[in-house]
Amino acid sequence: MWAGRFSKEIASDVNDFNSSISFDSRMYRQDIAGSIAHATMLGEQGIIDPSESDVIIAGLNGILEDMDSGSLKIDPSAEDIHMFIEAELTKRIGDAGKRLHTARSRNDQVALDLKLYLKDETRDIFAKVRELVVTVTDIAKQHLDTVMPGYTHMQRAQPITFAHHLMAYAQMFTRDMSRLADCYRRMDVMPLGSCALAGTTYPLNRRRTAELLGFSDITLNSLDGVSDRDYAIELCSALSMLMMHLSRFSEEIILWCSWEFKFIELDDAYSTGSSIMPQKKNPDITELIRGKTARVYGDLQTLLTMMKGLPLAYNKDMQEDKEAVFDAVDTVKMCIKTFIPMIKTMTVNKENMRLAAAKGFINATDCADYLVRKGMPFRTAYKLTGTLVALCIEKNTTLEQLPIEEYKKLSELFDNDIYDAISLDHCVMERNVEGGPAPEAVKAQIAELERRMAGIAL
């Protein structure tokens, strides 16, 4: 391409080192779409002859068809996908092909291609996260009355429902949707026309190119247009957060599958066995999701570190952006795709959840609240209930089974209605504050989440 300035071919291992075609060829559709829009605009503006613009567009469409069908093989020795397609075009249509790159540089071309590519991927991931929220919400709707222990410090704390626990994740994933939508808005800005760094002397109609490619705006500074990778970093950041949520959910599923919990069982199709221990059924999928979270964090770190010292405008370091962001996108898609059917097919062991909730004195706060309702200050009631719990532990019994005489020894405020007040169902039903676990409150939470989710769009 630059034979005019050079007197020697690039050394072949240097070419391999320099080349990005092995990973940027996945953007061939975006590259061709960008070139078609650019050629259209050049023709409309009279910068190239409209008849030549038509020849270029037909040639590019032919290349697209042949790449889609696989009949045109990518040349692995090409420097990148942009050079490959331009060279192929010139091979096919001759001199007209050499006019395509008028008023364009690979610097604004690659920024355009990556934005187009990541816009598509962001849409795709957004739709998958929506499906995930719907799946989690559907399961929650079946478990409004499934009592389970809620934990802090991994110690049984207070009773909640499985629906309430699941909806906490639905809330996280809904925030992920809104982060993706937000990031998409800033990605949706067209850089073509920035050229190498300083724009061009040709009378481009950049807004027309943006319209042809479905962008809502154009970049307003040519240096920023070619050197900005915020959109890739923001996407990786939103994806890291999404993976963090998936990883926490996975961690809980791993615990819930264990013999120690036995709250759920994963379908055989989503578990693996052991090569030596015949009894084993392992939650490998969730462990892999937890593990792959590290990769996505790593991808974000790669991008941030790669960008931090770069002077304006384009530097070749920026070629390193693609493998990182592609890896993040691929990993997230694979994880969500596996996670959705895995939770759809899991069986929930309501009985064990309830049994676990019945142990561990998770109704102790309710016992204290009972005394407070009868006039005792909370701190006094808290201390007295602590004494009761210690007594139960000593007698190897529970608050539910402790005889009323024992209660009365500690306070005359206790009556037979204490047993109702500390029954598991009562403890859950009474927690009906907005955002609480009572079935009515969770129903309201679901309705509100569905309403808000409908308002988040790309």
Q: Where on the chain is the footprint of ligand ARG (CB under 6 A)?
A: 20, 24, 80, 106-107, 110, 314, 316, 318-319
Least separation in angstroms between residue 24's CB and ligand ARG is: 6
Pick between residue 149 and residue 225 the one whose CB is nearest to ligand ARG: 225
Look at residues 358, 356, 357, 378 and name the one whose alpha carbon lies nearest to residue 367.
378
Nearer to ligand ARG, 118 or 453 (CB): 118
Closer CB to ligand ARG, residue 80 or residue 327?
80
DSSP H helices, 10-105, are 12-18, 21-24, 28-44, 50-69, 81-93
> Among residues 7, 69, 153, 275, which one is catalytic?
153
Min dist CB 80 to ligand ARG, Å, is 4
CA geometry: angle at 384 spanning 382 and 387, to 5°? Answer: 110
Is 274 one of the catalytic residues?
Answer: yes
Sign of the C-alpha dihedral computed for residues 64, 68, 71 and 73 taken in this order: positive
The rounded distance, in Å, linking the Cα atoms of 209 and 218 is 9
Long-range contact pairs involving 219-222 (C-beta distance under 8 Å, separation at least 24): 219/189, 219/190, 219/191, 219/194, 222/108, 222/193, 222/194, 222/195, 222/197, 222/198, 222/313
Peptide bond just before 313 cis, omega within 30 deg: yes
Q: Which residues contact 51 (CB under 8 A, 6 or more apart)?
A: none
Residue closer to ligand ARG (CB basis): 165 or 229: 229
Residue 297, number of CB atoms within 10 A of its CB: 19
Q: Give the separation between CA 289 and CA 339, rounded to whole angstroms.
A: 9
Q: Say how many Å lie between the first and final Cα of the chain, rounded.
A: 39
- Note if 19 is an active site residue: no
In whole angstroms, the minimum distance from the beta carbon of 196 to ligand ARG comes to 7
3-state helix, strand and coil shares in percent for the chain, rounded to the nearest 5: 65, 5, 30
Q: Which is nearer to ligand ARG, 120 or 400 (CB)?
A: 120
Q: Which is nearer to ligand ARG, 256 or 314 (CB)?
A: 314
Question: Shortest Cβ distance from residue 19 to ligand ARG (Å)?
Answer: 8
Of the two residues 107 and 293, which places its CB atom closer to ligand ARG in the complex? 107
Whole-angstrom distance, CA of residue 347 vs CA of residue 324: 36
Q: How far is the CB of 1 from ligand ARG (least distance, A)?
A: 10
Rounded to a whole number of angstroms, the minimum distance from the CB of residue 176 to ligand ARG is 28
Which residue is catalytic, options 274, 275, 411, 423? 274
CB of 56 to ligand ARG, least distance (A): 20
CA 134 to chain centre: 15
User: Residues with catalytic annotation?
Assistant: 153, 274
